[in-house]
Amino acid sequence: MHIRLLAVGDRQPSWVDDAFGIYSARYPREWKFRLDTIATVRRNKSNQSPQAMARESEQILARLATTEQVVLLDERGKQLTSASFTSRLTEWQQDGRDLCFIIGGPDGVSEACRKRADFTWSLSPLTLPHGMVRVLFAEQLYRAWSLQAGHPYHRA
């Protein structure tokens, strides 16, 4: 099984790239983990947010394989403990399909993207900056692997 993160937002502060890189470099090689980005559609003074969200969502959907399991990261999703996320990850791995996590744009994703998701996961009920979501996602994915592997990183 391969795992990837598909995220809207191609320019992040260096601290985001650094922290994301620290965790993703620790993932097992067999995941063949990769980050794919989609440029954020520019919003202008006339507030074109719905149109921008629709265009970003179209790009997301175009990049998804029909066979991939899709997990949407969204504040309205299901909150999981680290242990329950690890259990979910194990189930997804046993399914055998590739796994794609999605972080939408500043206005979220379209209803079509929501419907395509097999699961919607909330890292927090708080609204978080997209860069912070990338870092938290990367850390939690590493933590889940460490729990699976019996690695001492997770100390609960």
Confidence at residue 48, expressed as pLDDT on a 0 to 100 scale: 72
Q: Quick check: is 154 in a domain?
A: no
Q: What is the pTM of this model?
A: 0.93
Question: Domain range for residue 36?
Answer: 3-149
Q: Quick check: is 156 in a domain?
A: no
Confidence at residue 156, expressed as pLDDT on a 0 to 100 scale: 58
Cα-based torsion angle of the residue sequence 138, 32, 4, 8 in order, rounded to the nearest 10 degrees: 80
Q: Quick check: is 106 in a domain?
A: yes
Q: Quick check: is 155 in a domain?
A: no
CA distance 32 to 29: 5
Alpha carbon of 116 to those of 3, 13, 28, 64, 150: distances in Å?
17, 30, 27, 9, 33
Q: What is the pLDDT of residues 69-95, one digit of tens each?
A: 999 999 999 999 999 999 999 999 999
Sequence-distant (6+) residues with CB within 8 A of 123 are 73, 75, 79, 133, 136, 137, 140
Q: Quick check: is 8 in a domain?
A: yes
Our count of domains for the chain comes to: 1
Confidence at residue 94, expressed as pLDDT on a 0 to 100 scale: 94
pLDDT at 47 over 70: no
The stretches of the chain forming alpha helices (DSSP H) are 14-24, 49-62, 82-95, 111-116, 130-149
CA distance 144 to 155: 12
CATH number at residue 141: 3.40.1280.10
Confidence at residue 22, expressed as pLDDT on a 0 to 100 scale: 97
Confidence at residue 114, expressed as pLDDT on a 0 to 100 scale: 96
Q: What is the pLDDT of residues 104-155, one digit of tens each?
A: 998 899 999 999 999 999 999 988 899 999 999 999 999 999 999 988 887 6
DSSP code, position 76: E
